[in-house]
Copies of this chain bind each other. A is one copy, B any other.
Amino acid sequence: MYSIGIDIGGTNTDMGLVSEEGTIICRSNIPTNIYTELQPYVRDIMQCIGTMMKEHAVESIEGIGIGAPNGNFYTGCVDNAPNLTIKGVLNFEEEIHKYMNVPVVLSNDANAAAYGEMVYGGAKGLDNFIMFTLGTGVGSGIVLDGKLVHGSTGGAGELGHNILIPGGRQCSCGRKGCLETYTSARGIVQTYCELKDIPVSPEVNSKMIGELANQGDPIALKTWETVADQLGLAMANSVTFSAPQAIFLMGGPTKVGEPLLKPLQNAFDKYLLNIYAGSCKIRMSQLKANEVAILGAAALIKMKA
């Protein structure tokens, strides 16, 4: 059975027709930020979906999964996402049902990534793991007993906003010291610039710091060691909650490889409570960076299966 995965970003909306095995058969996209109303936006999404299905002679689909900022699993709505040009509480499920009577499942992008990893990626067969996504921000998705943890509000699994260093760096959420301020791409740049004693500028980015580290630059290496220590602490702390079998990592900054991953394993081992020693592995996402958003969204449908 085929399914549809939709990744709603502030700028673009990516869609894919996904096979049972997790192959993206074809893709389509529309801009997000030209819309200010939900109805024409969903109309155009459904048109793309119809075209993809027709082209591949797919007559019916299992459902439509959507990864979106502030996507609420319980309500099927996107709740007041600050980076969308369509404002308010957006009932995607209801709007989509005007076109097609299939299950619609929404969640945020990090939750979708975690679920995608379980259904199609490196977490197949695991039923208890945590995914950390490092990017512009730091997201997380928690799987327990094979199910995504949504919590009472639908907003569970925001470990990027765990306060790691009380009174630390200012976070965009208004509080201080959140994990995100240290281990997001921006946080990594800030650490590098602090260590190098230069102002933060658009010329410095985390990819560059990764390349420098792999060339042996001592300040870049020190940057990744610092990030590894912070992320390793946050990961070890998360283990005290759900004692997962593995913690997965994905996102641009993780691509640096050894300069992050080696000190990360050391930090994780150092900070892990002894009763969990050896019980939780650090793993990299096995999904391709340019596929994870669509596959994760499509995987959400499997929750209703």
Q: A245 touching B276 by the CB < 8 A rule?
A: no
Determine which residue in A159, A174, A243 has the highest number of CB atoms from chain B within 10 A of its CB, and name it.
A243
Decide: A244 near B151, CB < 8 A? Known: A144-B144, A173-B274.
yes
Contact with B along A125-148 (1 / 0, CB 8 A): 000100000000000001011010
Does any Cβ of B come within 8 Å of A33's Cβ?
Answer: no
Secondary structure at the A interface, as helix, strand, loop or mixed, is loop
Contact with B along A272-301 (1 / 0, CB 8 A): 011110011000000000000000000000
Decide: A163 near B276, CB < 8 A? Known: A151-B242, A156-B241, A241-B238.
no
Q: A152 touching B173 by the CB < 8 A rule?
A: no
Chain B neighbourhood of A165, CB < 8 A:
166
Q: B273 touching A158 by the CB < 8 A rule?
A: yes
Q: Give Cα distance in the complex from A165 to B164, angstroms.
A: 8
From the candidates B149, B155, B276, name the one contacting A155 in the complex (CB within 8 A). Answer: B276
Q: B155 touching A243 by the CB < 8 A rule?
A: yes
How many residues of A sit at the interface, in one of the four size bands?
A: 35 or more
Q: A241 touching B157 by the CB < 8 A rule?
A: yes
From the candidates B175, B245, B276, name the one contacting A273 in the complex (CB within 8 A). Answer: B175
Q: A241 touching B163 by the CB < 8 A rule?
A: no
Chain B neighbourhood of A245, CB < 8 A:
152
Does any Cβ of B come within 8 Å of A201's Cβ?
Answer: no
Q: A150 touching B243 by the CB < 8 A rule?
A: yes
Nearest chain B CB to A139 CB, angstrom units: 11
Does any Cβ of B come within 8 Å of A214's Cβ?
Answer: no
From the candidates B147, B158, B240, name the one contacting A275 in the complex (CB within 8 A). Answer: B158
Determine which residue in A159, A241, A279 has the highest number of CB atoms from chain B within 10 A of its CB, and name it.
A241
Does any Cβ of B come within 8 Å of A233's Cβ?
Answer: yes
- Please give me the residue from chain B that is nearest to A272 by CB atom: B175
Q: Give Cα distance in the complex from A237 to B179, angstroms.
A: 11
Q: Give Cα distance in the complex from A99 to B279, angstroms.
A: 34
- Please give me the residue from chain B that is nearest to A128 by CB atom: B152
Q: Which of A20-76 contact B (CB under 8 A)?
A: none
Nearest chain B CB to A216 CB, angstrom units: 28
Q: A236 touching B163 by the CB < 8 A rule?
A: yes
Q: A243 touching B153 by the CB < 8 A rule?
A: yes
From the candidates B128, B149, B153, B162, name the one contacting A151 in the complex (CB within 8 A). Answer: B128
Q: Give Cα distance in the complex from A238 to B242, angstroms.
A: 11
Q: Give Cα distance in the complex from A154 to B173, angstroms.
A: 34
Decide: A276 near B244, CB < 8 A? Known: A166-B165, A166-B233, A233-B166.
no
Q: A279 touching B152 by the CB < 8 A rule?
A: yes
Binding site for B on A (CB under 8 A): 128, 142, 144-145, 147, 149-159, 161-166, 173-175, 233, 236-238, 240-245, 271, 273-276, 279-280
- For the A-B complex with A153-B243, A159-B241 known, give 4 more contacts whose Cβ atoms are closer than 8 Å: A152-B243, A161-B240, A164-B166, A165-B166
